[in-house]
Structure 1
Amino acid sequence: MSMSSNYGPPKPEEDMIKLIHHAINTGVTFLDTSDVYGPHTNEFLIGKALKGGLRERVQVASKFGISSQDGKMQVRGDPAYVRAACEASLKRLDMDCIDLYYAHRIDTRVPIEVTMGELKKLVEEGKVKYVGLSEANASTIRRAHAVHPLTAVQMEWSLWSRDLEEEIVPVCRELGIGIVPYSPIGRGFFAAGPKMFENMAQNDFRKGMPRFQPENLEHNVHVYEQLSKMASRKGCTPAQLALAWIHHQGDDVSPIPGTTKLENFKQNIGALSVKLTPEEMSELESYASADVVKGDRHMYMGSTWIHSDTPPLSSWKA
């Protein structure tokens, strides 16, 4: 996402393609994009980067469902939109099949069975290999999985965003669904702390995030300070420590830290060698417990999993 949008202006295409190539040659096998990143331009970027035989070396995930109407975000999961979005993404990616295709957000006007029904058809047609949901609650996950098996659920999960642990993680493990944590480094905060704001672009959407508002940031900086102290003891960076904590959640957890810088990518890879004891895991969690952190985890909480219930299938009129 950050290569093309949201975290400031788009980065130079040539540089980003080199970074993607370096990631693949280092051993990364999973690339995550969405039609809303840019919008659209990130899918074009991934498509270009995978030319020359690299496509077969990676699993590509994309997403649909978030569109912009008159500058306002709209979520759609109706069958016609699902199909049109998939076919458009295939063209931009220049691929015959998307390995993992997510509903980026849940359309609460459409029964999840209807959205999943169209995704199932796309699988049967060979346009999509596996299906996932992003920011869906436990009930929605169960209903969706009953229509067609879900391969992954993508949720925000990090030291200070742990609201999924009580319901979402258990239901995913019960049903055998993988978990893909986004923003595992706290949207960059665990890497740089308040310094990340020093050279931040005016159009970086993190400036509007509740946890980064002055009245909350002044308090939340203590989380970073404690993280940094433990990182010094462990001989790693704060970002590596935060990412290692996610890696220790289980083999069914595949975090997707984003970066636009080679040095940060190398740090992320280095997190795999950071080992944590149960006592250290508990200590880390105490730094950013729900009663410690101030501010919501997202600026659009209305579209997160806690508000993702959809109507019953019996209410749907095509």
Structure 2
Amino acid sequence: MTIPVRYLGPDKLAVGAVGFGAMSFLNPYGQSGYDPRQAAREIVDQALASGVTMIDTADGYGDSEIIVGEAVAGRRDQVVIATKFGIVEAPHGTGTARIDGSPAYVRRRIERSLRRLGTDHVDIYYIHRIDPNTPIEETVGAMADLVREGKVRHLGVSEAHPDTLRRAVAVHPITALQTEWSLWTRDIEREILPVTRELGISVVPYSPLGRGALTGAIASTADLPANDFRRGIPRYSDENLRQNLSTVDVVRRIAGELGAKPGQVALAWLLAKAPDVVPIPGTRRAAYVAENAAAAELRLTAEQVAELDALRVVGDREMATAQRADNWFDGRTPPLH
């Protein structure tokens, strides 16, 4: 099976309709006994066999860039590598968010990412969060220099305010906005999605399976390992999760009607939103790469889409420290003087 191709941004970058998010190699969900390097080789094998060509990582995902680089060695021309920079310290645990989008930092981080990935260019280079202290024009201007030098092919931004998107595209075309979007996270739909449509920016949703909940594999908080960071996310609290799992029952029922898996229904719902939406579910197993890819062939009826559109969950999508962090979501920057 080879899934359909979709085209991102004004330059029409061709990628498989479903991508792969490589944050899983950081092991954020606390499982043990996992060899990420062996998994990465198997995942890339399966991805390419399925037509999944875009692999998304970041300089802040531990050794993920290194692991991705090793896994694609010898077949670099078959994959679209996206990576991200800008998060110096994430607002998790007791830390506070630190974001750097200064031109000097842009330059340092691309050189580091290229070394770690073992490549001479990155296909999509995102700022991972928006620096509240650097005008976006300066950040994107430095990123555009990398395009002119051949070190980067296309530019992206993540978790940006509509005004930030408008200012960014005034400096250089933006291929994609990466943001959390799923049946469990709908924030983008109110103000940001219309602007991406207007500006020709494609959307690459991360956590499109609700951080695993929409696969139907989680029945309660007790199913999460003790060191799983989802335990700190409000919508995963015992009280909220009990209510939120009722939405998964709807997804599971629709999956049964279609002879599909719940996660495939969640991905198909996103894919139905626009022809240039490309979700990047993560997984630690090659079999799930194939399963996620197959969602690109699933067709929902208008009635099923409407029923899924009506679903709502309770609780914030990130832990309290992230909710309070400056620019972690809806990122804005100071004006350019």
TM-score by length of 1: 0.91
Helix, strand or coil at the partner of 1:83: helix
Map Cα deviations across residues 81-134 of structure 1 (whole Å, 9 max, x no partner): 111111100100011111100000001111111111111111111111111000
2:175 match = 151
Is 1:57 the counterpart of 2:66? The answer is no
Is 1:47 the counterpart of 2:69? The answer is yes
Letter of the 2:87 partner, please give it.
Answer: I
The CA RMSD measured in Å over matched residues stands at 1.8
Q: CA deviation at 1:225?
A: 1.5
1:180 match = 204
2:19 match = none
What is the alpha-carbon distance in structure 1 between the residues aligned to residue 60 and residue 235 of structure 2?
23
Helix, strand or coil at the partner of 2:281: coil
Helix, strand or coil at the partner of 2:187: coil
Is 1:126 the counterpart of 2:150? The answer is yes
CA contact (8 A) 2:69 2:119 kept: yes
Aligned to 1:297, which of 313, 317, 322? 317
Q: CA deviation at 1:172?
A: 1.1
What is the alpha-carbon distance in structure 2 between the residues aligned to residue 196 and residue 91 of structure 1?
41
What is the alpha-carbon distance in structure 2 between the residues aligned to residue 3 and residue 197 of structure 1?
22
Q: CA deviation at 1:74?
A: 1.3
CA contact (8 A) 1:98 1:129 kept: yes
What is the alpha-carbon distance in structure 2 between the residues aligned to residue 227 and residue 9 of structure 1?
26
Deviates more, 1:81-90 or 1:69-78: 69-78
CA contact (8 A) 1:152 1:180 kept: yes
Helix, strand or coil at the partner of 1:194: coil
Question: What runs of 5+ residues in structure 1 fail to find an aligned partner?
Answer: none
How do residues 172-251 of structure 1 correspond to structure 2 at under 5 angstroms? Answer: 172-195=196-219, 197-251=221-275
What is the alpha-carbon distance in structure 2 between the residues aligned to residue 66 and residue 43 of structure 1?
15
Residues 87/311 of structure 1: CA separation in 2 closer, same or farther (3 Å cut): same
Letter of the 2:28 partner, please give it.
Answer: N
Residues 249/139 of structure 1: CA separation in 2 closer, same or farther (3 Å cut): same
1:313 match = 336
Map Cα deviations across residues 272-297 of structure 1 (whole Å, 9 max, x no partner): 22211222101111122xxxx11012
Question: What runs of 5+ residues in structure 2 fail to find an aligned partner?
Answer: 1-22
What is the alpha-carbon distance in structure 2 between the residues aligned to residue 199 and residue 2 of structure 1?
18
What is the alpha-carbon distance in structure 1 between the residues aligned to residue 218 and residue 295 of structure 2?
21
Q: CA deviation at 1:196?
A: 7.2
Q: CA deviation at 1:7?
A: 2.1
Helix, strand or coil at the partner of 2:59: coil
2:27 match = 5
What is the alpha-carbon distance in structure 2 between the residues aligned to residue 4 and residue 94 of structure 1?
19
What is the alpha-carbon distance in structure 2 between the residues aligned to residue 149 and residue 127 of structure 1?
16
CA contact (8 A) 2:97 2:328 kept: no
What is the alpha-carbon distance in structure 1 between the residues aligned to residue 214 and residue 50 of structure 2?
24
Helix, strand or coil at the partner of 1:220: helix
2:4 match = none
Map Cα deviations across residues 169-198 of structure 1 (whole Å, 9 max, x no partner): 111111111110111111100112533755
Is 1:166 the counterpart of 2:190? The answer is yes
Identity %: 45
1:22 match = 46
CA contact (8 A) 1:106 1:135 kept: yes
What is the alpha-carbon distance in structure 1 between the residues aligned to residue 26 and residue 311 of structure 2?
32
2:20 match = none
Map Cα deviations across residues 294-316 of structure 1 (whole Å, 9 max, x no partner): 1012222334433x1211011xx
1:264 match = 288
Count matched residues: 306
CA contact (8 A) 1:227 1:287 kept: no
What is the alpha-carbon distance in structure 2 between the residues aligned to residue 35 and residue 166 of structure 1?
30
